[in-house]
Amino acid sequence: MVATFKSSGHWDGCLRIKSIVRDFSLSYDEPPSLGGEDTAPNPVEALLSSLVGCLGIVACVVANEKKIPFEGIDISVEGDLDPRGFMGQDKNVRPGMQAIRYSIKVKGDISEAQLKDFLEEIEKRCPVSDTLKNGTNVTGHITNA
């Protein structure tokens, strides 16, 4: 069984894009250094934020299933991107991120062995992390409106 998730969007002036997901709207922009007006996160920041959300949700699901006692979880994510790639300034520079790193801090009385197993299960089950690590076929088309 495959679930299909959907999003749509439209131009909202300058470099702003408004995206609709179910009954939610998300906005994207770029900082002034990249030509935007800094009214919202850029898509790359949103991707990192999606990874934070997915790791956190999967951690909660796994902790509940495995009865891992935690009192809280903090996640930080950072990624390295050379903007010359997507700006078309250097054809030898990849437009995507070259590396993404994350750190998960779990509050609670959990042993190092439990933490190691916990992380392995989170990494194995996180859809966003899996998509980023293993790649996904992305196709598209363009038409006149």
State whether 32 and 52 are in the same domain.
no
pTM score: 0.92
Classify residue 140: in a domain, yes or no: no
* Residue 70 pLDDT greater than 90, yes or no: no
**Residues 75 and 125 placed together within one structural domain of the fold:** yes
**pLDDT, tens only, 71-126:** 999 999 999 999 999 889 999 999 999 999 999 999 999 999 999 999 999 999 99
Q: Is 142 among the domain residues?
A: no
For the chain, strand residue ranges (E) read 8-11, 17-21, 24-28, 72-80, 99-107
Host domain of residue 1:
1-40
Q: What domain count does the chain have?
A: 2
Q: What is the DSSP string of 12-31?
A: -STT-EEEEETTEEEEE---
CATH number of the domain that residue 109 is part of: 3.30.300.20
Q: Are residues 51 and 89 in the same domain?
A: yes
